[in-house]
Amino acid sequence: MRGRLARLFRSLHKKEEGITGLETAIILIAFVIVASVFAFVVLSTGLFSAERGKETVFAGLEKARGNLEVRGALTVTDTDTDGDVDSSDQIDFNVALAAGGFPISLDPTAYTNTVVINYIDQQARVADVTYTVTWILDDSDDLLEVGELAQVTVNPPAGSTLVENEIFTLEVVPPSGGTLLVNRTMPPSIDDVMDLH
């Protein structure tokens, strides 16, 4: 009985050989492949995120660098001297590029990629009003570039009349960059020429 029991224990505790070198190599190669795929996924995601971040920064810079600014005062002229400012009269202001801005087309006859001016007063909002450009400092093209200065003349649209103490706004919308809001209040009395700061 004792012999049988000893054989039974020996059969349970047989010598087991370790795994071979080939099996170890296969397991290590599998780990390396899984780690490589994981690393590729992580790097691809990081590169994609970095590229998207770069595109966002460049888009923000382009938008910021396309801004216009008013240089000097806005002048309202009652050309027919009738005591109110209507479509026969004019509003003049000077525009230039903000520091580091990209060139902007100021061709009033162009249909695309040019500045649009919207007129707003207490009676109406008129989109894309007609305007004219008189160049003060330029290089004889229709692009407003760094160091150049242009005078923009807008006539109030038909049906709109600016009276004393009335607030009006000109929205100058470039093709890229922020909208320039020129907001002014008419003086308490209408003169032939009014310099509104």
Domain boundaries, the chain: 18-64, 68-196
Say if CB 152 and CB 131 are below 8 A apart: yes
Instruction: Extract the tokens encoding 125.
Output: 């909002």
pLDDT value for 32: 86
Average pLDDT, whole number, for the chain?
Answer: 83
How many residues are listed for the chain in this entry? 197
pLDDT band at 131 (very low <50, low <70, confident <90, very high): very high
CATH number (2.70.98.60, 2.60.40.10, 3.40.50.150, 3.30.70.1380) of 68-196 reads 2.60.40.10
Assign 77 a pLDDT band (cuts: 50, 70, 90). Answer: very high
Q: Which residue has the tokens 């012999």?
A: 3
Rounded to an integer, the average pLDDT of 22-47 is 83
CA distance 86 to 155: 8
Residue 1 has pLDDT above 70, yes or no: no
Q: Is the pLDDT of residue 18 over 90?
A: no
Q: Give the predicted TM-score (pTM) of the model.
A: 0.65
Give the pLDDT band (50/70/90) at residue 67: confident
Which residues face 143 on adjacent strands?
Answer: 105
Question: How far are the Cα atoms of 119, 130, 150, 174 from residue 134, in angstroms, in the given order?
Answer: 19, 14, 6, 17
Classified as helix, coil or strand, 1 is coil
32 residue type, one letter: V
Query: Would you call 91 exposed, middle or buried from its count of C-beta atoms within 10 A (0-12, 13-18, 19+)?
Result: buried
In angstroms, rounded to a whole number, what is the distance separating the alpha carbons of residues 176 and 183? 21
- At 136 the three-state DSSP class reads strand
Mean pLDDT (whole number) for 158-176 = 89
For residues 51 and 157, the model is more confident at 157
- How many other C-beta atoms lie within 10 A of the C-beta of residue 5? 9
Q: Is residue 22 very low, low, confident or very high in pLDDT (cuts 50, 70, 90)? A: confident
Least confident of 12-21, 67-76, 91-100: 12-21
Is residue 127 pLDDT above 80, yes or no?
yes
Which residues does residue 177 pair with via DSSP β-bridges, in sequence order?
Answer: none
